[in-house]
């Protein structure tokens, strides 16, 4: 059966502080600069989710409402308008760089995407997380 890759984008806003506990304050400031501000700073993230799935015999792709709900419950509600270091267990001890955030989101989504009821045979291909208009990270698992 033919397969296609569909991509959907979602948005959420979050604050974080880039800080490594194994480094001195001076080293953290040198490496992370203004992103090491003790109060944190924020971003309006854009998350792109790419899913591979079979096309049914009529050439249609299953509806995406279930995917939207999955993203909402797995990513948006837990991270939107949160300080990632302080408000989320995933980043209590993990530096919330765009790379680490991307990996966490992928790992949270992958097993759930594989079991989407309205999209049998669906697989998470990759996620792309835009932190700024110039900076993004793609994670493929």
Active site residues: 35, 81, 131
- Considering only CA atoms, which of 48, 68, 14 is closest in space to residue 125? 48
Report the b/e string of 75-96 with b at 16+ CB within 10 A: beebbeebbbbeebebbeeebb
Cα–Cα dist 85/64, whole Å: 31
Contact (Cβ atoms closer than 8 angstroms) between residue 63 and residue 98? no
């Amino acid at each position: 059966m033919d397969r296609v890759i569909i991509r959907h984008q979602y948005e959420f806003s979050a604050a974080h502080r880039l800080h490594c506990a194994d480094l001195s304050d001076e080293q953290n400031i040198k490496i992370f600069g203004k992103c090491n501000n003790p109060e944190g700073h924020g971003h309006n993230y854009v998350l792109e989710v790419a899913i591979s799935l079979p096309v049914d015999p009529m050439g249609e792709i299953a509806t995406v409402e279930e995917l939207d709900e999955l993203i909402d419950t797995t990513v948006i509600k837990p991270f939107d308008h949160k300080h990632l270091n302080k408000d989320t267990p995933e980043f209590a001890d993990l530096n919330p760089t765009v790379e680490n955030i991307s990996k966490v989101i992928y790992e949270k989504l992958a097993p759930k995407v594989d079991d989407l009821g309205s999209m049998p045979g669906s697989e998470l291909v990759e996620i792309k997380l835009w932190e700024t208009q110039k900076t993004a990270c793609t994670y493929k698992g």
